[in-house]
Amino acid sequence: MTKLGVNIDHVATIRQARRTFEPDPVTAASLAILGGADIITVHLREDRRHIQDRDVRLLRETVFTKLNLEMSLAREIVDIAREIKPEKVTFVPEKRQEITTEGGLDVVSQKKILGDIVKRFRDDGILVSFFIDPEEDQISASKDVGAHYIELHTGNYAHANDDISKGKMIEKLQRGLNTAQKLGLQVNAGHGLTYQNVGLFVESLKVEELHIGHSIVSRAVFVGIQKAVSEMKELIFRHDLTRKP
């Protein structure tokens, strides 16, 4: 079954709004795991707007499922990641002005630097994923530089507001998935997925992992994070069973 990675950055966003000690994303991670999260994801941004270094260190000690660290190519963050040793790192583009990650990583124009960094992580035994748009050149460049996984950017699917555009985006993501699988890449997906739009996605595409953050943390404000995660797991499970062959 498709695994669920829960991104808990926005628990830290609430804490950082007051620069206090609560709510603690480390506690959120433990409860998310009790709710069925297969993976805990955090993004250690260069500007430290939500997740802090201390969070990543404590999560490494307490997350007994899998830890996925989203990150830019910044030297300082690469050094922290190699010291912490999460099970997986996911490279994302990062801009200070953006509210959240906007587009996919441009692998094509950064092949040399990405190749060097990927080699270091591979030598450390850490899995490497690239968050990319479902474009053929980005997918084959990801393979060329040694990524184990790609994470397909689902933002355009999530933001499509009619069935025809949604269908087109699903087809595009499906083509990306096929290309990646032919090259031997493992495929994840995420960004902008919600309780409302995850069903159609899961019915249409078989990916390894879905990475979902904002929608789960938003529901958690009302029902608690353990319940919010188990409701998302249940949705994925139900729609997995109805996937078209």
The catalytic residue positions are 43, 70, 191
Q: Which is nearer to ligand PXP, 134 or 213 (CB)?
A: 213
Question: Taking the complex as a whole, how short is the minimal distance between the CB of residue 175 and ligand PXP, in angstroms?
Answer: 20
Q: How far is the CB of 245 from ligand PXP (least distance, A)?
A: 27
Nearer to ligand PXP, 143 or 211 (CB): 211
- To the nearest 10°, report the CA torsion of 209, 227, 157, 67: -30
The distance from CA 107 to its chain's CA centroid, rounded to whole angstroms, is 17
Q: Which residue is nearest to ligand PXP, using beta carbons?
A: 213
On whether the CB atoms of residues 211 and 151 are closer than 8 A, the answer is yes
Nearest to ligand PXP of 47, 123 (CB atom): 47
Distance CA 164, CA 233 (A): 27
| CB within 8 Å of 170: residues ≥ 6 apart | 157, 200, 201, 204, 205
Q: How far is CA 182 from CA 2, 42, 168, in A?
A: 19, 29, 21
Least distance to ligand PXP from the beta carbon of 244, Å? Answer: 24
Pairwise CA distance, residues 134 & 114, whole Å: 18
CB of residue 42 vs ligand PXP: minimum separation in angstroms? 9
Q: Which is nearer to ligand PXP, 117 or 244 (CB)?
A: 117
Q: Which residues bind ligand PXP (CB under 6 A)?
A: 7, 9, 43, 70, 90, 92, 100-101, 131, 151, 190-193, 211-215
